[in-house]
């Protein structure tokens, strides 16, 4: 096991009706907030009215910026920075999913910075200060509600980039599983792929002696495999929704990656897809992850066999290690298919025309390699895209 530091400062307020606490929680930090949200689902569900009521009752002055798109855009981040500066707003409340939260985080680090906020995403600068961000989560997926990162797309160049810094942890996240009852099945499924990918990016590691985190990863994956079909069958199944929502946070709040080298190649490969083709991040991962696995499993067949046995119950009395490894990959792909996800680029109408361009971009024209389970060059990434066709 490697040395590590673990600190996750986000206060999680979890359970039924917890959004009613948003006013009193926010009032601990600020009296003026930017309410930041997506394309309108929160207005349709009535959540917007409940959040505004709670904020007003706590005496908070509200400024608003809606319209965050899935795969959130830099231009809206800049608009948010402008608004916050103009009105001396001290706090950003994101109500929604990873897109609204990431956009809020980018605004928060952009406000006190004199240069272009995109500098942080190009590693030209590191955030020194930030406004604080609070969250009311409506979709379990990105894990941004308790993560230290934000992912933004620069629309003129179609670059999708992330920034990671401890300043990006939200100060609180309110998580009521009931708010996820209204999710379209496809969004539930995309969120599932993202959550499982966050676990698997950590699980497939070259680090030895990481038994506890292996078992925690396996338990979190199994919780998803058990509960997602229940939530799809009955969208109002509170207990299934609650398990999924908590799993989504645990998957990405850094706990499962402690003491081990994590991979993240599949995320790098996926971000090029959602940047150029604007598909849901989770759908992209359901396509990329099985292809990545097929390409790299020989690096550590025993680890893939363990994944098959412990997560997918593949019986090791009947198969050798390599067969086990392949059965695990098959099981993951079959699970994605069973919940309505695409698992091939052709399923989302992406052809081979831009694969080379994406493979080059994903590795900064081979300035760096992707991942640690196997270090991937642009050539490897291209082969993975081809396996996913």
Q: Which residues bind ligand NZQ (CB under 6 A)?
A: 38-42, 45, 70-72, 96-100, 102, 138-139, 141-144, 147, 149-151, 179-180, 182-183, 187, 191, 194, 252, 267, 281-282
Query: Quick check: 13 and 174 in contact, CB under 8 A?
Result: yes
Q: Which is nearer to ligand NZQ, 8 or 182 (CB)?
A: 182
21 binding partner (options ligand NZQ, Zn ion, none; Cβ < 5 to 8 Å by kind): none
149 binding partner (options Zn ion, ligand NZQ, none; Cβ < 5 to 8 Å by kind): ligand NZQ
Q: Which is nearer to Zn ion, 142 or 314 (CB)?
A: 142
Per-position b or e across 51-79, b if 16+ CB within 10 A of its CB: bbebbeebebeebebbbbebbbbbebbbe
159 lies in the binding site for Zn ion (CB under 5 A): no
Q: Which is nearer to Zn ion, 193 or 345 (CB)?
A: 193
Task: State how far the Cα of 346 lies from the Cα of 283, in Å rounded to an integer.
Answer: 12
Residue indicated by tokens 């939200």:
170
Stretch of 56-64, 192-200, 314-322, 365-373 lying at the interface with Zn ion (CB under 5 A)? 192-200
Q: Which is nearer to ligand NZQ, 45 or 369 (CB)?
A: 45
Task: State how far the Cα of 155 lies from the Cα of 145, in Å rounded to an integer.
Answer: 24
96 binding partner (options Zn ion, ligand NZQ, none; Cβ < 5 to 8 Å by kind): ligand NZQ
What the block records as the tokens of 129 is: 């200060």
Q: How far is the CB of 9 from ligand NZQ (least distance, A)?
A: 15
Q: How far is the CB of 225 from ligand NZQ (least distance, A)?
A: 19
Q: How far is the CB of 249 from ligand NZQ (least distance, A)?
A: 11
Q: Which is nearer to ligand NZQ, 48 or 91 (CB)?
A: 48
71 binding partner (options ligand NZQ, Zn ion, none; Cβ < 5 to 8 Å by kind): ligand NZQ
Q: How far is the CB of 226 from ligand NZQ (least distance, A)?
A: 21
Task: State how far the Cα of 61 lies from the Cα of 34, in Å rounded to an integer.
Answer: 9
Task: State how far the Cα of 65 lies from the Cα of 144, in Å rounded to an integer.
Answer: 19
148 lies in the binding site for Zn ion (CB under 5 A): no
Task: State how far the Cα of 374 lies from the Cα of 264, in Å rounded to an integer.
Answer: 11
Q: Which is nearer to ligand NZQ, 267 or 327 (CB)?
A: 267
Other CB atoms within a 10 A radius of the CB of residue 258 amount to 18
Q: Which is nearer to ligand NZQ, 74 or 179 (CB)?
A: 179
Q: Which residue is nearest to Zn ion (CB)?
A: 194
Query: Quick check: 322 and 301 in contact, CB under 8 A?
Result: yes
Query: Quick check: 303 and 204 in contact, CB under 8 A?
Result: yes
Instruction: Name every residue whose Cβ is closer than 8 Å to that of residue 228 and which is 6 or more positions away in sequence.
Output: 188, 189, 192, 240, 244, 339
Q: Which ranges of 125-210 would DSSP assign to H, the alpha helix?
A: 185-203
272 lies in the binding site for Zn ion (CB under 5 A): no
150 binding partner (options ligand NZQ, Zn ion, none; Cβ < 5 to 8 Å by kind): ligand NZQ
- Restricted to residues 193-232, the positions that interact with Zn ion (CB under 5 A) are 194
SS3 97: coil
Going by the DSSP 8-state scheme, the letter that residue 10 receives in this structure is: P
Q: Which is nearer to ligand NZQ, 43 or 87 (CB)?
A: 43
Task: State how far the Cα of 83 lies from the Cα of 89, in Å rounded to an integer.
Answer: 8
Q: How far is the CB of 198 from Zn ion (least distance, A)?
A: 6
384 binding partner (options Zn ion, ligand NZQ, none; Cβ < 5 to 8 Å by kind): none
Q: How far is the CB of 147 from ligand NZQ (least distance, A)?
A: 4
Q: How far is the CB of 42 from ligand NZQ (least distance, A)?
A: 6
Which one, of 343, 381, 341, 375, lies nearest residue 361 by Cα?
Answer: 381
Query: Quick check: 32 and 89 in contact, CB under 8 A?
Result: yes
Instruction: Give residues in contact with Zn ion (CB under 5 A).
Output: 194
């Amino acid at each position: 096991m490697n040395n590590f530091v673990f600190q996750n400062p986000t206060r999680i307020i979890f359970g039924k009706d917890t959004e009613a606490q948003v006013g009193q929680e926010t009032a601990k930090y600020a009296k003026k907030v930017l309410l930041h949200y997506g394309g309108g689902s929160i207005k349709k569900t009535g959540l917007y009215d409940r959040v505004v009521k709670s904020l007003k009752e706590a005496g908070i002055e509200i400024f608003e910026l809606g319209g965050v798109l899935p795969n959130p855009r830099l231009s809206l981040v800049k608009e948010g920075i402008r608004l916050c500066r103009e009105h001396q707003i001290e706090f950003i409340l994101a109500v929604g999913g990873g897109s609204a939260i990431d956009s809020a985080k980018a605004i928060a680090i952009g406000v006190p910075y004199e240069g272009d906020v995109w500098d942080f995403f190009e590693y030209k600068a590191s955030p020194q200060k930030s406004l604080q961000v609070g969250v009311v989560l409506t979709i379990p997926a990105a894990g941004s509600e308790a993560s230290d990162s934000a992912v933004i797309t620069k629309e003129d160049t179609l670059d999708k980039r992330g920034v990671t810094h401890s300043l990006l942890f939200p100060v609180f996240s309110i998580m009521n599983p009931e708010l996820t009852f209204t999710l379209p099945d496809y969004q539930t499924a995309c969120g599932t792929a993202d959550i499982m990918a966050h676990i698997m990016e950590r699980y497939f590691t070259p680090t030895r002696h990481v038994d506890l985190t292996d078992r925690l990863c396996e338990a979190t994956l199994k919780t998803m495999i058990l509960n997602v079909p229940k939530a799809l069958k009955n969208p109002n199944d509170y207990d299934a929704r609650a398990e999924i929502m908590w799993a989504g946070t645990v998957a990405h709040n850094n706990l499962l990656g402690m003491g081990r080298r994590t991979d993240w190649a599949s995320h790098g490969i996926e971000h090029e897809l959602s940047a150029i083709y604007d598909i849901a991040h989770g759908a992209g991962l359901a396509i990329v992850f099985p292809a990545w696995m097929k390409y790299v499993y020989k690096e550590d067949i025993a680890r893939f066999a363990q994944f098959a046995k412990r997560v997918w119950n593949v019986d090791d009395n009947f198969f050798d290690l390599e067969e086990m490894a392949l059965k695990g990959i098959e099981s993951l792909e079959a699970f994605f298919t069973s919940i309505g996800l695409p698992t091939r680029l052709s399923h989302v109408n992406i052809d081979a025309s831009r694969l080379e361009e994406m493979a080059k971009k994903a590795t900064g024209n081979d300035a760096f390699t992707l991942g640690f389970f196997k270090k991937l060059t642009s050539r490897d990434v291209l082969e993975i895209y081809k396996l996913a066709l």
